[in-house]
Each structure stands twice: as C-alpha cells, then as structure tokens.
Structure 1
Amino acid sequence: MKLKHLAVPALIALSSSAFAGGFDGPSLQAGISLSVAQTSLKDYSPDGKVSDNAAVGNLSLNYSKSFGKFNLGGGVFSMLGTQNSGSLQSFAEDDPVNQVGGTGGLWSDRFDLKNVWGISVEPGLNLNESTLVYAKFSYVRAKGTNVYNYPQDADQLGSASRNHSGMGVGAGVKFKLSDNLYGMVEVEQVNFNTKSYYTDATETYKPRLVKGTIGIGYRF
C-alpha cells in the first residue's frame, strides 16, 4: 500500500519531466535564409510587381519557457545586409521627332530592403524533450529604398527611402543536437505597409518578404 502511494507521485513527476522543455532559457541563434523580396507598385508606369531573391544571414536572441507540453518563446531578430526587392529598366530610346517609343527613354529603377529587424512571439508544442514545433508571429521594421537613374533628364540620378513596418507569420521546428546546441528550420512571410517615397509623385511602394531559414542555436 505504501509503495502504491509513492508510485503515483513518481509517475506524475516523470510525466511532467517528459515535457520539461529541452529548449527552455535564453539562446543565441544564427542562420541563413533563402528569401524572395517583392515590391508592389501602384500609380507607377507600369503598375505591377517586381521581385528578386537572395541568400541572406540572420541573427536572433531568444527566450523560451515550457508549461508542461506547451511552450512560449520569443525574441529579437535581424537580417544581415541588403535584400534587393526588384528592378525595372528600359533600354529603348524614344524618338520625339517621329513620336515613337513611349517608354520614357533609357531609365532604371531598383528597390532594396535593408536594416530588417523585428520582435517575435512563438507559441509552440513540445513533441518530446528534443523536438519543438512552433508558430511565429512578428512585428518587423525595414528601410525601403528606390534607386533611380533617368540619364535623358538632368539631375535624375539618385535615391529615396522610407521606413516600413509590417507583420509576419510563420512556422518552424527546433531539434536538439546536444545539451546546448540545436538546429532549426523555419518559413515566414512578412507583409509591409504601403509608403510613398516622393512628395511630388503619387506612386507608392509596398514590399513583401518570404523566407525559408535553416540555422543553429546555442542555449545558455
């Protein structure tokens, strides 16, 4: 009888420790992302969407806490470097005498995203002590830049930029490699707000970022 009374609390303790959370505590994470950045153009000639892709590095400082089987994490993250988010150009020269062309002559526009950083909340589920699956919800900031070159016009070489904010949603999985090291795989999409870069033009720019990340983290 006495053994039976001792066995019940022992089983409860073992059950809770099975999901004690192998990812609990602070961690530093580094990874590489294959990202596709897109810019939607409105009141621009021509309207539409342009995009580009690149491999970019990223860093994050995270904290995670388990509550039995469930986990709540979050952190601060940053993408390294500049991400090109599309370009447009024309190689045709207009002929104003014969009124042919209509492209505006030789010109080019390039769009970039840089200084991308954000904060995230990551609710998750401990599948076991070594595997965590999670959803990711983030608030993200970035600087969008338009670099333009219209060589047929005087003083038409330059750039303009604005700060964008956006919301991201994604999902990922973390898996332990050792007591302190873990690997991770994650996908995320960030939709930024719309901004006009120029006071003398009605055209607007709306960036979007889609990225898949693989990385490694160290849990302190």
Structure 2
Amino acid sequence: MDLTVGPVTGREYARPVTDRPAGCCDDNNKPKSTGGKMKKLLFLFLLVVLSACSTFKVAEIDPKTGYFPSETKADIIKHDKYDLDPMKSLVLVTAGAFVEGQVKNMKYFDEIINLGELQSIIVREGLQDKVPSIADKIGVNKAYTNYKPFLWFRYNVRKSEREAYVQFILTDPKDMKDIFIAEKRFDPVWGNDQSTWYPLCNAFIDYVRENSKIYRMP
C-alpha cells in the first residue's frame, strides 16, 4: 500500500496499489473520468475552510477595545461632519438582520427599524396616500417628511472591472445626502466577518463617536 495525504482533512489513509492507474479504465475498458471526483473533493475542501470562518454572526463590542473583533480597517470614502444626536431617536436599517443586530449592539440609536417595520408604521399611521411606496429614495424621503425624521443606514456594492467592494452608507433622507461611506473589498471565497463586515461596523463606530457628544463606549 502507498500512503496518500487526503485533500480535505490532511490525514493519511491507505490506498491499494493496482497494476494500472486508478480511475483510468473500468473492467469493460470504458474511459472513466476523474474530473467530477476532483471537483467534489475541491468543493468539500472549500466547505471545510469556509465552515471555519465566522460569517454573519452578530457580535458584541469588546469592552477592552471599544470595537467589534477585527485586525483590519475599512476604507473611508466620505466622512462629513454632522450633528447626530438630534437624530438618534430613529434609524432605518436596510442592510439585513445581521447589520441591524450590529447597529443595535452599538447602543447609540434609541430605535432601529427595517423596511418592513417602516411599511407597517406607514399603514398604522394612515399615511398610505402620502407615502404610497418606500421602495426607492423618493419613497424614503416621503416617509421622512410625513412620519418623522430619521437617518437611513444602508448597504451597497460598488463594482470595478475586477473587484467588488461592500459599502456601508449613512444617509440623511431629508435631502438624500450621504454623510458617511465606508467600504471594504469583498472576497467571495475568503471573506468573513473579521475581514469584511466588522471593519465596516468599526468604521461606523468611529463616525458616531466623532459626531456625537453623548455617545459612550458600550
């Protein structure tokens, strides 16, 4: 027997040595393809690697550092001075439950709602005629005008010729001006919370600290 290192686990296993190359032909002399087997092994290898990475796990801020756990930083695209405190009563987050949980764990905004919850509020307040839809920027602006002022925290993907970048954006719906934009290059294979999402959240923490007089580290 020869000993071969398994491509997924790294363990050694025994494989019988035959007179002909394994996978070449079957007993009926029909060609046997090894391409499908190699693809399956590669797929299993990627599953093992990715399962070791934390992805979309809502985290608590580390009280020692004041940040979510990460060793990298996001790139800051826009960082306008803005008095956040008068607007901290409500923020609309349209970036999914994961980001909603991260913003909640910052413990700055009084109320955090998503798009579905804003739609329910519009109906409950009888504002359907004034705010017929919130599926675009015009609708969000109408909700701001006819319901109450709020900030809008959202997610975007910026694409270049060869790369994709995840962006976190904070917008004032009053005039649809983006006041904060941070981005991180997205790696679809190796990207995870620590390398992509937490750095973006940490950039937002810095922005809030620099533009709030009352925010304190959780």
Q: Tell me the TM-score normalized by structure 1.
A: 0.26
Between structures 1 and 2, the one with greater strand share: 1
Q: Tell me the TM-score normalized by structure 2.
A: 0.26
Between structures 1 and 2, the one with greater helix share: 2
